[in-house]
Amino acid sequence: MPGPVIYTKEAADSIFVLGASAPELIDSRVSAAAPKIAQGQARALRANRIYNVQKLARLAAALGRQDITPAVITCLTHSIGWGIGSDDVNGGMVDPNGLYRENAWPVVLRKLFARDNRQAVAQNFLGLYSAYGVASLSTSPAPAFSPTLGPFDSYVSTPGGFQYGGYNLYAAGAASITIPSTFAGRFTALDVFYWGSDSGVTTPVRPKVTVDSTVADAGTTTVVSGTLNVMRLTGFTDVAHDITVSHPGGSTNGAYVFAVVPHRGTGVIVNRVGAPGSKAYDIAGAATGTARTRNIKASVLSGYSHMVVIELDTNDVYAQTPIATWKTQIQEAITEAVAGGACVLLASSPPINGGEAFAIPESAYQTAARELSDANDHVAYWPGHLVISDRTQAVADGYYPPAAPTTVHFGTLGHKDYATALHDALPLPYGDYSGGTITAPTITTTALNSMFVGSSFSQALTATGTPPLTYTVTSGALPAGLALSSVGVISGTPTAAGSYTVTIRASNSAGTNSQTFAGTVSASTGFTDDFNRTDSSTTLGTTTDGKTWQTINSSVWGIAGNAAYCPTPASRGYAFVDTGAQNGTLTAVMSVTASFAGVAFRIFDASNLFYVQPNSTTLELRKVAGGVGTLVGSATGLTFANGDTLSVVLSGNSISVSLNGTERITYTDSTFATNKKHGLTAAGTVARFDSASFVAG
């Protein structure tokens, strides 16, 4: 079936004239400069064509629903989109008097959409890292900075040494970040980004959010799943507010955050995610594994954005990044954005003074962007450089700061025309819901999925009705360890077996609907894990069948090459699953066999348990009671090799230990016989576990 026909504003309305802008939305200096704009408009007309504009259907659909829920455009950019030069001075990274936040082209684009919707302008994306200059951090205790928790983690600027990222708010449960109303501005809705356990961070919780002096969301002390999670809070009065994001308290787990987005609840959000000096490389940087994935997700705001505008070519021209390398780096962002439901617009930057004289000229990067658009679904290309095609005339027209005519950075007028040309080239909405009927919700989920103690759980409720819908618990309670988000996702890890009854309500402006759910949390029985997942040096994550790995004795476990290992064993590391069964068979296949690494079982804590390990040519069964270790069984004269299988059969007071299917040790002991936690152990970093399982019986 053919897709929708995509129309643009330019085709429908001709070029938008900046001089007619409402003064409260567009800087009055632009209106005063109207006599100079005629030639600029002619140039802007050449930039009104988007190649493969039909690939922006996801944006067009989102714009069609903006009267109900915001359409989100995220601009991934460098110093030009950051706004350097927009003060008509080209004064450097520090934002003089907030002018970059007012005049940068993504901000002008935001203002144009606000004017379209007759809305006041909200700030939208506000990075929490101090280099963004809008947030203040608590000092005693202070949030713990991590470059891999936010966008552009690898970027460190030469002047000032800024590095971008995010924060862990644990710090004794009291760390906080505050954005004062002078920076947060007016808003009626607020989105808060935080990382879940699937992102690779360790035991994350949902942060607490306070607006002015009122707690808008108390957060959770239970571990939250998901990758890049968004907490949407609505219903604020239409004034400027203070925002404080803090740890919820009552837990030693971390709350990992990097940005908030104040907005109007409808209309178009335009996020300016930038780092002066950045290149395509800095989207992911040198990070690997889940950290690399977090960097990219934070840059494109994966799953949140409807369109990602990538304007990252200027610094690569100066750096002479090979075209193939640049395309590979941009492709990573494209892949993540499209997988998250967005379309992508590759936008060329204003021309460099002498940009065609480089060995790899700037036009080569423009051609490469066009090729990426042709090669990918949901990716278009906009030749934004055509807004300024004649630099000599553009300088005379006032498009660049008077004191820096050779700079690549636009002045105020350049930012305005660049944003206006882009605004007019973008597709018009289709499937517009303006003036349509808003229907009340009906929850269509009739039962919750099976739940097991110690196994992570996540289920999104479904409902009919006009979005956005807000979900709340009105009676009863979810099982301990689970929480309901405002968008209808139940997630967490059940901590106790037993029955539950809970009533959940979905609501929108047209009405409400409730559904009661009843069920049982079952005791977890066994686990199986092949460790075939993304490398991580900080967590084992969850087993193949969805159980949660836990660690004790200050050890850190991870994944490397589809095998489990212990990069930080402390004196001895233990990783285990609460299996819900005291009797059964524990098995581990060791792809790299090493002394002092094996299986642990009937674990009460690090001071009370059993474990089995190779030690030179001896297989040992050891008991730890009250912190004192004792050798209680052994088999000598053995040869160990990579690929060995260790297994332990537990039956009441009986313990049987086998190596590669041959029983080697038997032992009888009633100590710890009722404990149900079983797993792995290592006293060094060499051993690798290819798989592990526990079958109850």
Q: Is the pLDDT of residue 230 over 80?
A: yes
pLDDT of residue 47: 55
Q: Which residue type, as a one-letter code, is found at position 266?
A: T
Mean of all residue pLDDT scores within the chain:
85
Question: Residue 422's pLDDT band (boundaries 50, 70, 90)?
Answer: very high
pLDDT of residue 437: 59
Overall average pLDDT of the 613-626 stretch: 96
Q: Is the pTM of this model over 0.75?
A: no
Q: Lowest-pLDDT range, 93-102, 236-245, 510-519, 546-555? A: 93-102
Q: Lowest-pLDDT range, 9-13, 186-190, 249-253, 415-419? A: 9-13
Which residues of 241-334 form beta strands (DSSP E)? 243-246, 256-263, 268-274, 307-311
Question: Residue 430's pLDDT band (boundaries 50, 70, 90)?
Answer: low
What angle (nearest 5°) sits at the alpha carbon of residue 29, between those of residues 24 and 32? 110
pLDDT digits (tens, 9 = 90+) for 173-187: 678 999 999 999 999
Helix (H) or strand (E) holding 692: strand 688-696
Q: Which residue type, as a one-letter code, is found at position 301?
A: L
> How far is it, in rounded angstroms, from Cα 537 to Cα 83?
37
Most confidently modeled range among 165-174, 262-271, 456-465: 262-271
pLDDT of residue 29: 29
> How far is it, in rounded angstroms, from Cα 668 to Cα 655?
6
> Six-digit token pair at 142?
């202070």
Question: Residue 132's pLDDT band (boundaries 50, 70, 90)?
Answer: low
What CA–CA distances, in Å, run from 74 to 124, 387, 417? Answer: 10, 21, 19
Question: Residue 157's pLDDT band (boundaries 50, 70, 90)?
Answer: very low
pLDDT of residue 96: 60
Give backbone dihedrals phi and psi of 8, rounded to 5 degrees, phi first. -110, 160
The DSSP-derived string for 495-559 is -S-EEEEEEEEEEETTEEEEEEEEEEEEPP--EEE---S--BSS---B-TTSBBPEEETT-EEEE
> Six-digit token pair at 238?
């239409």
Overall average pLDDT of the 56-77 stretch: 91
Overall average pLDDT of the 248-257 stretch: 87
Q: Is the pLDDT of residue 85 over 70?
A: yes
What CA–CA distances, in Å, run from 372 to 208, 348, 454? Answer: 41, 13, 45
* b/e burial code for range 660-687 (CB count within 10 A of at least 16 → b): eeeebbeeebeebeebbbbbbbbbeeeb
Q: Is the pLDDT of residue 326 over 90?
A: yes
Q: Which residue type, as a one-letter code, is found at position 429?
A: P
> Residues 297, 336: contact at Cβ < 8 Å?
yes
Q: Lowest-pLDDT range, 98-102, 354-358, 535-539? A: 98-102
> How far is it, in rounded angstroms, from Cα 320 to Cα 311?
16
- Going from the N-terminus, what domains does the chain have, and what CATH number goes with each? 9-119+266-425 (3.40.50.1110), 130-246 (2.60.120), 442-522 (2.60.40.10), 527-696 (2.60.120.560)
Q: Who wins on pLDDT, 460 or 535?
A: 535
Reduced to 3 states (helix: H, G, I; strand: E, B; else coil), residue 664 is strand
pLDDT of residue 75: 96
Q: Lowest-pLDDT range, 145-159, 168-182, 609-623? A: 145-159
> Six-digit token pair at 642?
């990579």
Whether the upstream peptide bond of residue 262 has omega within 30° of 0, thus cis, is no
Please name every residue paired with 619 in a beta bridge, in sequence order, or none if there are none.
Answer: 614, 635
* Rg of the chain in Å (alpha carbons): 29
Question: Residue 389's pLDDT band (boundaries 50, 70, 90)?
Answer: low
Pairing between strand 489-492 and 457-460?
antiparallel
